Amino acid sequence: MKLQKALLILLVIIGIVMIYLGVKANLPPPALTGVGFFIIAYLLNQKGN
């Protein structure tokens, strides 16, 4: 369970970084990838509960 929580936190951090880099460089693909990381983290969290 601790490993799953750590992976969820890592996915959220990577998502935030990707969105930040995408917005800063004015590039949509990294920002969309960041949103995808949030969706994956959400789905994994729902599966774990």
- The average pLDDT across 15-20 equals 95
Q: How far apart, in whole angstroms, are the C-alpha atoms of residue 15 and residue 32?
A: 9
pLDDT band of residue 29 (cuts 50, 70, 90) is very high
- The average pLDDT across 10-25 equals 94
Backbone angles phi, psi at 34, to 5 degrees: -60, -40
Taking the domains of the chain in order of start, what are their residue ranges?
8-48
Give me the amino acid identity at 16: I
Q: What is the pTM of this model?
A: 0.84
